[in-house]
Chain A
């Protein structure tokens, strides 16, 4: 609790400077609205923001599911087959060197203005940290434990289920947290390029109408989605990793 309240200090200071600055220099609200106005709009327009936020959140969650569906088998086969790792790891790294945002217009062309293109955008961004961290987790497995399982004549699936997978979980969750923190970016970029719903779409629309307060309100809601996902993953992590030593 003490740590959390410590984080509030710079946050409050930031908002105060912003608010005072806006009023002191008489900044036009369509250029930079004061935070009080952003907060007010966030509540007053909550129903609109909520509808769009639900779309964006759904895109992120589906993207997460898609990324997991790709990353988990990928990391597993890379771990068990050196040849797969050697064949795919340069590709993996290359896939991260391509600016995903450059792909956004193409994805819209291929997959349309609907949810699918955003889900894929989010998944493309998410799957890399998950794959890498899961693979690292697998590789961290103590050789002596593997020897023990070999002596017990454990099958491939037994080793995966009883040893390697639980062993990799802490690292997997670290990657997952990293992934959800950036997942909003993918969905929003997708929405910017072309969409009919979502917070990214709302931002573009409102920006065109010089409603900077609504743009900021959208960002605020996006931040809440990101933090909510982070918190959710943290909760699941605490449940699953009950055996981790405290501290």
Chain B
């Protein structure tokens, strides 16, 4: 499997097929039994040092304000500069969090927390963003709004994005490449390259067409697995 630099790639597959395990391997939490990871043409052990991570839990520290949470990667990576705070403020403005800088995570909504997590993904300042079902804990409306923001990781900030999702429509709306995974053993089953321009709408006929294909593929995979 290959992801071009600057592309948005979505992984969909039946639950329990090992998507999250795959991410654990990429992040160096688990070691591989076999296979190879390469980044920029070079073989590496893991992508720990090039990846930022976001998942359905916001993973914000409850004792820090939203702003301090967003500043955390800079603080830890000792890249703290004079204008860090300004960078974060700008990002907060960009992601509709202005005025909430000093709130604690439990004082704001789940959508806002996830926006803050998204800002933190950016302050990681890593080239690759690994997203593990980042929006699956949110309500449908918040999710559809935040999907656009996820897209901006790629379009506006030039990140390479690898996203796990169980939401087929979300995958089709956001990704350049959708990879359908099979379970036991997990391997890429089908690779769909979507060329229609972004942002896309769920009502786009192309999206609808692909949705049929992907869903029937996934259903077949589930029946086989059972």
Using a CB–CB cutoff of 8 Å, the interface residues on chain A facing chain B are 142, 144-145, 147-154, 158, 162-163, 166, 242-245
Contact = CB atoms under 8 A, between A and B. Distances in A.
Contacts of A245: 106
B162 to A, nearest CB: 14
A147 B62 contact: no
30 contacts: A142-B57, A142-B59, A144-B55, A144-B57, A144-B59, A147-B29, A147-B53, A148-B53, A149-B76, A150-B28, A150-B48, A151-B27, A151-B48, A151-B52, A151-B124, A152-B73, A152-B76, A152-B124, A153-B76, A154-B76, A158-B76, A162-B72, A162-B75, A163-B61, A166-B63, A242-B63, A243-B63, A243-B64, A244-B62, A245-B106
Contacts of B141: none
Contacts of A162: 61, 72, 75-76
Given A153-B77, A158-B76, A243-B104, A148 B59 contact: yes
Interface of B: 27-29, 48-49, 51-53, 55, 57, 59, 61-64, 72-73, 75-77, 104, 106, 124
Given A151-B51, A151-B53, A152-B76, A166 B61 contact: yes
Contacts of A149: 76
A166 B27 CA distance: 25
Interface hub of A145, A149, A243, A244 (most chain B Cβ within 10 A): A243
Given A148-B53, A150-B48, A166-B63, 15 more contacts: A142-B57, A145-B61, A147-B27, A147-B29, A149-B76, A150-B27, A151-B52, A151-B124, A152-B73, A152-B77, A153-B49, A153-B77, A154-B76, A162-B72, A244-B62
B75 to A, nearest CB: 8
A245 B104 CA distance: 10
A149 B53 CA distance: 10
Contacts of A150: 27-29, 48
Given A151-B27, A154-B76, A145 B49 contact: no
Contacts of B64: 243
B63 A152 contact: no
Nearest to B57: A144
Which 6 A-B residue pairings sit nearest by Cβ, starting from the closest? A243-B63, A152-B76, A154-B76, A245-B106, A166-B63, A243-B62
Contacts of B52: 151
A145 B61 CA distance: 8
Nearest to A243: B63
Contacts of A154: 76
A243 B104 CA distance: 7
Nearest to A153: B77
A148 B73 CA distance: 9
Nearest to B105: A243
Contacts of A163: 61
A136 to B, nearest CB: 18
A145 B58 CA distance: 10
A163 B76 CA distance: 11
Contacts of A152: 72-73, 76-77, 124
A83 B106 CA distance: 37
Nearest to A149: B76
A179 to B, nearest CB: 23
